[in-house]
């Protein structure tokens, strides 16, 4: 049996009603949309946090953000540095910068717009996030396509074209099976199916509510789809960061607002992120003691960051931060690794 719109949506929603994940930002399946005016804010916050990040990683951040800034208006009035610090460790820090910009834009207009087109006009909202908010927060019929949905649709319709070229036919097929009623539940059901049943490796076809309609399963090898282009090897970068200590305090700087890890507190470094070839500025003056190196993998490159202890007074703008409170500085993961290395060397 091949897939068609009504059987797909009916079967999937029936499955979702029984197997939906219980998540702190989710409305129960089939329940009326909450009348709480903060509901769109919670949907938006969760969707931004979930971009390229796992549910398990997002849950504690989502809870802390809501406890600190329970409404979009509260977030709009937050200090940028406080938001960046609260985001530290979640990665993809441009999301945090756009989060504040978007909150201020929404507060200025008196609330979230309800249409997909208007949502797209907000800072940092791409096609997926705008569609997800429109469908989940406002019940609009919007076609929500993330990596999980791409996988489900590519297998359901046996779309053989490799990604990224396959995205157009995948979206067309997703459009065809998205129902007018319960579009938000349908979008979340597709996400749940992709994350728990129609997984990248070893899909659990015997448990899938769409198994009888899946063309890739009928062909015998659903895990083969979607076909992805070969990944290019990530370039290797090298850099150097500096541990400058005085009176049980360490010197921290705030990185420029634009660029990698923008707006975050960090250890001073040689400017490695500004150079495409991984080279940086000249070392800071002073006597240096090598402390070792840390490795970190970004989406676009891998980095080996050498850590050097310096003596003397630092130049430029920064702040002395109590070493015993270094965990409260909101350092991004790369510099948190370097700080742990330095602390281990102190004994």
Q: Which residues are catalytic?
A: 47
Phi-psi region of 293 (alpha: psi -120 to 50; beta: other; left: phi over 0): beta
Q: Are 68 and 86 in contact (CB under 8 A)?
A: yes
Residue 242 in contact with residue 310, Cβ under 8 Å?
yes
Among 325, 277, 281, 286, residue whose Cα is nearest residue 308:
286
DSSP, res 202 = S
Q: What is the full DSSP assignment across 60-120?
A: HHHHHHHHH--SHHHHHTS-HHHHHHHHTTS--THHHHHHHHHHHHHHHHTS---SHHHHH
In sequence order, what E strands does the chain have? 236-246, 249-254, 265-266, 288-297, 302-310, 319-322
- Beta bridge partners, 322, equal 249
Task: Tell me the three state secondary structure of residue 311.
Answer: coil
Angstrom distance (rounded) from CA 143 to CA 37: 24
């Amino acid at each position: 049996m091949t897939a068609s719109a009504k059987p797909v949506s009916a079967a999937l929603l029936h499955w979702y009603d029984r197997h939906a994940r219980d998540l702190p930002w989710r409305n129960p399946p089939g329940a009326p949309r909450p009348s709480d005016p903060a509901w769109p804010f919670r949907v938006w916050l969760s969707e931004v946090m979930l971009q390229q990040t796992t549910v398990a990683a997002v849950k504690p951040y989502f809870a802390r953000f809501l406890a600190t800034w329970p409404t979009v208006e509260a977030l709009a009035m937050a200090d940028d540095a406080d938001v960046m610090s609260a985001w530290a460790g979640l990665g993809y820090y441009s999301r945090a910068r756009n989060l504040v910009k978007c909150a201020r834009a929404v507060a200025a207009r008196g609330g979230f717009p309800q249409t997909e087109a208007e949502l797209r006009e907000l800072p940092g909202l791409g096609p997926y996030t705008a569609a997800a908010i429109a469908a989940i927060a406002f019940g609009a019929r919007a076609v929500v396509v993330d990596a999980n949905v791409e996988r489900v649709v590519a297998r359901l319709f046996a779309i053989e074209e490799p990604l990224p070229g396959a995205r157009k036919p995948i979206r067309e097929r997703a459009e065809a099976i998205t129902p007018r009623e319960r579009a938000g539940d349908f979008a979340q059901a597709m996400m749940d199916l992709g994350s728990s049943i129609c997984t990248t490796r070893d899909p659990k076809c015997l448990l899938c509510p769409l198994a009888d309609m899946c063309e890739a399963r009928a062909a015998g090898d659903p895990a083969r789809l979607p076909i992805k282009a070969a990944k290019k090897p990530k370039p290797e970068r090298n850099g150097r960061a500096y541990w400058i200590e005085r009176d049980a305090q360490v010197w921290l700087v705030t990185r420029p607002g634009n660029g990698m890890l923008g707006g975050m507190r960090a250890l001073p470094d040689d400017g490695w992120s500004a150079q495409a070839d991984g080279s940086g500025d000249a070392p800071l003056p002073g006597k240096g003691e090598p402390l070792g190196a840390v490795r970190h993998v970004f989406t676009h490159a891998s980095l080996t960051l050498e850590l050097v202890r310096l003596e003397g007074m630092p130049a430029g703008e920064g702040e002395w931060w109590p070493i015993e409170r270094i965990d409260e500085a909101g350092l991004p993961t790369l510099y948190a690794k370097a700080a742990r290395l330095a602390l281990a060397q102190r004994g």
